[in-house]
Homo-oligomer: A and B are copies of this chain.
Amino acid sequence: MTTSSPATRLGSWRGFLRVHASLIRDLGAELEASEGMTISAFDVLVQLAEAPKQRLRMAELADAVLLTPSGLTRLVDRLVGEGLVERIKCEDDGRSTYAAMTREGRRRFRAASRRHVAGVRTRFVDQLTPAEHDALDALWARLLPQWKAR
């Protein structure tokens, strides 16, 4: 949040923060309740699901989900504990490790994805007109030069 007399146009920033906090809180609680999965865990599974061979090096994955390497280590630890992900030594580079989705991981991901995406749609995606979608895509690209919209 920030100071905001009406003319300063900080309202859109405040709204941005508030919408994010509110949606993440609701969607996180929903995902937790229905699938026993955290948003961060789901993010990891999304990235793996879309990756070739459904696996990524830890560093690539950390970058994709915007966690530090240490944070990702712990998160992958938990996912390994639940059997959703496995660690596979990288053959070309002995320092590196793949995080790879297991069969069970795919199953749980598909289930969680259905619910979670539905929640995202009703709360966000379906509230936007096509023009707003286009405008937002353009805006995000401007705000994040390194962001490749897919």
Q: Are the CB atoms of A139 and B147 closer together than 8 Å?
A: no
Q: Are the CB atoms of A143 and B120 closer together than 8 Å?
A: no
Q: Are the CB atoms of A4 and B127 closer together than 8 Å?
A: no
Q: Which of B2, B4, B15, B150 contacts A14 (CB 8 A)?
A: B150
Q: Are the CB atoms of A143 and B23 closer together than 8 Å?
A: yes
Q: Are the CB atoms of A16 and B20 closer together than 8 Å?
A: yes
Q: Are the CB atoms of A19 and B144 closer together than 8 Å?
A: yes
Chain B residues lying within 8 Å of A4, measured Cβ to Cβ, are: 150
Interface of A toward B, CB cutoff 8 Å: 1-4, 6, 8-23, 25, 42-43, 46-47, 49-50, 65-66, 113, 116-117, 120, 123-125, 127-128, 132-133, 135-137, 139-144, 147, 149-150
